[in-house]
Amino acid sequence: MPSSRTISANGIELFVLEQGQGPLVLLCHGWPELSYSWRHQIPAIAAAGFHVVAPDMRGFGRSSAPADVGAYSIFDNVGDMVALVSALGEKQAVIVGHDWGAPVAWHAAMFRPDVFTKVAGLSVPPPFRGRGRPLDSLRDGGITNFYWQYFQTPGVAEAELERDVALTMRQVLGRGVSDPAALYITEGKGFLGNISPVVKLPDWLDEADIAYFAKVYRESGFRGGLNWYRNIDRNWELTAPWQDAQIHQPSLFVAGSKDSVITGLIGAKRVTELERVLPNLRQKLIIEGAGHWVQQERPDEVNAALIAFLTNQ
């Protein structure tokens, strides 16, 4: 069983789940998730001979949530992981990320190859830094109702998502990002309005899971996690020095075939061009029939891929 504790790192407090002994592996969750999202991976990777640490990321769950929107840039989030490695008494780690955690993992490997020796990203391909700010590019392309845009104004999405936290978690995890309609906002319907009701939870998610997520989010609220989206354009500006940079460490990419993040026009193109950024890509695993929450939906296949990647020198 994983144990939990709170660790001071990078000027904030990070709640972590951890298990095992051996080389360090960090697991970075996405939105709207928690360290709990890795509940199937932590014991399996620990049993394979690793010290597995999964934090509630900055702004999420029981970790610190700074009030300043500007405290959630990619530099802050990568900085937390660099500091966490050090706080754990290590000099190096393998870093794994899913959803928003994937950009953290990819950028951590890009910024600090001396610290992060291998990198795995789930559901979100590595960074392809475009020609302009992402939100500007959406607007210039005539798109004004993408969920990133809806999340920009502080307080709007928070009010909707916090109205009934258990329902929010049912909708987003039970259907959520695997449904392309969910990514576009219909006027007056909010983020949840285009997600058809989840009458029966999928077989990989049970009422106890929903209750766990809901309890933690009732206490933390959604603002911290939403602030990550409010730094999308700023992240583009901050990462200018890494234009066209590659990640040379051994890398792994895993996603579900039914994940709208990789089936959309941009995502699908990025998945076919992974090697441009990842010249040392060891495996590209697209799990047939899986959606966005891939490590929760298909833990056996994800665990097998991760453990093979971790143990293969």
- For the annotated catalytic residues, the residue numbers are 99, 292
Alpha carbon 121 to its chain centroid, in Å, reads 9
Which of 258, 236, 169 minimizes the C-alpha distance to 207?
169
Other Cβ atoms closer than 10 A to 240:
8
Other Cβ atoms closer than 10 A to 20:
20
On whether the CB atoms of residues 254 and 294 are closer than 8 A, the answer is yes
Rg (CA), the chain: 18
> Which residues lie below 8 Å from residue 223, measured CB to CB, with a gap of 6+?
59, 65, 154, 158
Which of 75, 85, 221 minimizes the C-alpha distance to 155?
221
Q: How far is CA 226 from CA 32, 62, 66, 147, 213, in A?
A: 9, 16, 12, 11, 16
- Write out the two tokens for 298: 């298909």
What torsion, rounded to 10 degrees, do the Cα atoms 184, 185, 191, 196 define? -70
Instruction: Show the DSSP H helices in 194-282 as ranges.
Output: 207-220, 223-229, 232-238, 260-263, 265-272, 274-277
Q: How far apart are the first and last CA of the chain?
A: 27
